[in-house]
Amino acid sequence: MVAADTGGRILHVDLTSGRLEVESPPESFFRTYFGGSAMGMYYILRNTPPGTDAFDPRNVLTFMASPLTGTPIAGQSRMCVSARSPIVDGIGDSQAGGYFPAELRFAGFDGIVISGRAANPVYLWLHDGEAELRPADHLWGMTTPEAEDLLKQELGDKKIEVAQIGPAGERLVRLAAIMNMSNRANGRTGMGAVMGSKNLKAVVVRGTRKKVPLADAKKLGEMARWGAAEIPNNPDVISLRADGTAGVLEYQHLIGSLPTFNYNEGQFAQNELISGATMSDTILKARESCYACAVRCKRVVETEFEGRPVEPRFGGPEFETLGTLGSYCGVSDLPAIAMGNQICNLYGLDTIGTGATLAWAMECFENGLLTEDDLGFSGHFGDAGAMVRLVEMIAKREGIGEVLSNGSRRAADLLGKGHAFLITVKGAEAPAHMPQAKRSLGLIYAVNPFGADHQSSEHDPMIEDRTAELYLERLALLGLDHVLPAGSLGPDKVRFALRTQQFYSFLDTATLCQFVWGPAWTLYGPRETVDFVRAVTGWSDFDVDELMEIGERRLNMLRAFNAREGIDRGHDRLPAKFFRPLGGTGPTAGVALVEADIEAAKDEYYRLAGWDALTGNPTPQTLSRLGLDWTDVGTAAG
């Protein structure tokens, strides 16, 4: 056990030896790496040997908050979990909200660096500056609510927060997530499987002193009050409060960006049956928030499917889940989607990767590559019962679920078929925003270090045609000062993609919610983000340029890790399906990406980013400018 100390503390955990050590880095370290992904990458690049497999004990797993986490303002209670991924080629990176991130800081820690593998299951208990490892054999095999309830009983405190793996992570399902509150997920890139490989069941946190250091509490209070009062004046944010992320489903359908039948079409004829408005009118029970957040976008639903209850404890499906378990699979049964979401949260699964893998399996079934003998039942698009059964089979690695638990790309490799139906980039299944409708997303899906991701940049409509007039004042602070044509992918759109990606990269370093803080449509824009950092840290000279450099540094660290592992431009490939014309109806029917356009956009992106055009890797000059010479990635120069 380690004892309490004061601020700026990183806990190092060696699960193999059981050793716990606390590091207190200097202020300069926090100003350089800040928190979140960038700080996690510092320790991963330093301590994970090149060539380490995702399930190797030497694979360093980091949980990181930031100096902003736990402050009394909306959109700050988030954390980033990073490690080499078991599902994506190269680095894995994932964010989650809830109350756990704030409680981690109240417990006296800014981050956790975990290496090794425990001989038997354990959990990590952090409380008021102290840390200890405890046996978790009695928790192993439990679902997320079972384990959380027992831990609260065992520790005698109902206010503890638990970040844990469910049975899926224990079984090394590559799609496994890390869950807190049984409904908030570090979902993408398989971080739950990495945690399971270390025999680490949970991280449990509690801090009785609900304060973090603030340089200017008065200024922060003013910002918090302004934000709460401004919500009714922001149509995007008020929509989040009313219908959650599900509120965008009908808009995505309207513009032809709602993936349907495994990305074969861009509109779902039955979209209204699974929309945010329908959820609010039928199965919505409550709206919840993360710590200190006034937006309250989290859905809580209650219903049943085939006689089985869908319980409020598991929250409710977000837009991505409505897409992947719904329109991707042709399923229009909202209670079935809510049940699929519940099973994912119960066992600890990423809903995006899981739903997209099921959609791939259904397309294989439609084309005779999988049969009833393979599945044990019929698996046509639109079969809600089949979708729910397959989710559970993946979680338990039963039957065809044993193969599908590896994600769709590895499943195709294991079966030796179905590759033409994949929608993966670097192994990550594409989320529910279609680059056929949002062209710069195709570029970001390709170049993003951890594969296709919809929250790594701003989306095209924010700077296209009349919509952009609402956001141009904010975007101009990033040097994006004029409206671009809809559907464009020229140099200006590439610059938009990179600059907003760097801003979003800062958000994932500062662990800020992208629904509250951002470059365009959100509650607080770039100017307010700078003011927030100043109010918390006292860095009076902090500005947008430094913010962007921190985001750029994090992006280059992720890319440098991949370069070290031999992952380069050759891996920045979009699936063949994206270059085939879409079917169905609507504005994207018959539309396909053009490979020459994507390649030209990549050339321009690498040039603007300071990356080598042949390899797509950061150049030595770029690494040096960002203070990253020490990464010594070897292949980064090309």
pLDDT of residue 634: 53
Q: pLDDT band for 1, please (50, 70, 90 cuts).
A: low
Kind and range of the H or E run holding 11: strand 10-14
How do strand 111-115 and strand 10-14 relate by DSSP bridges?
parallel
State how far the Cα of 192 lies from the Cα of 200, in Å rounded to an integer. 10
pLDDT for 586 beyond 60 = yes
SS3 label, residue 616: coil
Residue 633: pLDDT over 80:
no
pLDDT of res. 3: 43
**Cβ count within 10 A of residue 27:** 12
CB within 8 Å of 304: residues ≥ 6 apart: 310, 335
For residue 209, the model assigns a pLDDT of 87
| d(C-alpha 278, C-alpha 283), whole Å | 8
Structure tokens at 391: 């989710």
Question: Average of pLDDT values for 70-89?
Answer: 98
CA separation for the pair 178, 190 (Å, rounded):
8
Distance of CA 486 to the CA centre of its chain: 27
Say what the pLDDT of residue 156 is: 98
Q: Where are the domains of the chain?
A: 10-206, 217-422, 439-580+592-637
Q: Classify the C-alpha dihedral 470-475-481-485 as positive or negative.
A: negative
Residue 636 has pLDDT above 60, yes or no: no
Write the DSSP assignment of 356-410 as a string of letters.
HHHHHHHHHHHTTSS-HHHHSS---TT-HHHHHHHHHHHHHT-TTHHHHTT-HHH
Confidence of residue 568 (pLDDT cuts 50, 70, 90): very high
Q: How many H helices and E strands in the chain? A: 24, 18
Cα(379)–Cα(358) distance, rounded to whole angstroms?
Answer: 9
SS3 184: strand
Decide: 131 and 11 in contact? Cβ < 8 Å: yes
**Is the model's pLDDT at 349 over the cut of 60?**
yes
Tokens 């030896």 correspond to: 17
290 and 516 Cβ atoms separated by less than 8 Å = no
pLDDT at position 635 is 44
Residue of 89 and 632 predicted with greater confidence: 89
Q: Which residues contact 241 (CB under 8 A, 6 or more apart)?
A: 231, 287, 295, 296, 297
Which of 30, 36, 145, 149 is CA-nearest to residue 101? Answer: 36
CA distance 463 to 458: 9
pLDDT per position as a tens digit, 123-146: 999 999 999 999 999 999 999 999
pLDDT value for 114: 99
Class of domain 217-422: mainly alpha
Helix (H) or strand (E) holding 532: helix 526-537
DSSP codes of every residue in 579-593: GS--BSSSTTTT---
Percentage with pLDDT > 70 across the chain: 98
The CATH number of domain 10-206 is 3.90.79.10: no
- Give the three-class secondary structure for 24: coil
429 close to 356: Cβ distance less than 8 angstroms: yes
User: Which of 15, 26, 233, 235 lies closest to 135, judged by CA?
Assistant: 15
583 phi and psi angles, rounded to 5 deg: -90, -160
Residues 6+ apart with CB under 8 A from 425: 445, 446, 448, 451, 452, 573, 574, 575
Rounded-to-integer distance, Cα 278 and Cα 266, Å: 20
pLDDT more than 90, % of the chain: 96
Residue 465 has a pLDDT of 79
Retrieve residue 265's tokens.
Answer: 């079409």
Give the span between the Cα atoms of 79 and 94, in whole angstroms. 8
Judged against a pLDDT cut of 90, whether residue 466 lies above it is answered with: no
Average pLDDT, the chain: 96
Mean pLDDT of 492-501: 98
Give the C-alpha separation, 395 to 351, whole Å.
Answer: 11
For the record, the structure tokens of 73 come out as 């303002």
pLDDT of residue 6: 39
Query: In the numeric block, which tokens belong to residue 5?
Result: 């100390």
Q: What is the mean pLDDT of residues 496-523?
A: 98
The number of residues in the chain equals: 638
pTM (two decimals): 0.97
Query: 13-22, 367-376, 463-472: which range is least confident on average?
Result: 463-472
CB 264 within 8 A of CB 256: no
* pLDDT at site 210: 87
14 Cβ contact list (under 8 Å, min separation 6):
20, 115, 116
Query: In this structure, how many other beta carbons lie within 10 angstroms of the beta carbon of residue 378?
Result: 11
- Which residues are bridge partners to 82 per DSSP? 62, 93
Distance CA 279, CA 334 (A): 8
Evaluate whether the domain defined by 439-580+592-637 bears CATH number 1.10.599.10.
yes
Is pLDDT above 70 for 638?
Answer: no
Task: Name residues whose C-beta falls within 8 Å of residue 3's C-beta, 6 or more positions apart in sequence.
Answer: 129, 130
Chain centre distance of CA 192: 13
> At which residue do the structure tokens 């909306």 appear?
74
pLDDT digits (tens, 9 = 90+) for 193-244: 999 999 999 999 999 988 999 999 999 999 999 999 999 999 999 999 999 9
pLDDT, tens digit (0-9, with 9 covering 90-100), for 267-326: 999 999 999 999 999 999 999 999 999 999 999 999 999 999 999 999 999 999 999 999
Q: What is the pLDDT of residue 474?
A: 96
What is the residue type of 254? Answer: L
As a whole number of angstroms, the distance between CA 452 and CA 440 comes to 12
Other Cβ atoms closer than 10 A to 519: 28
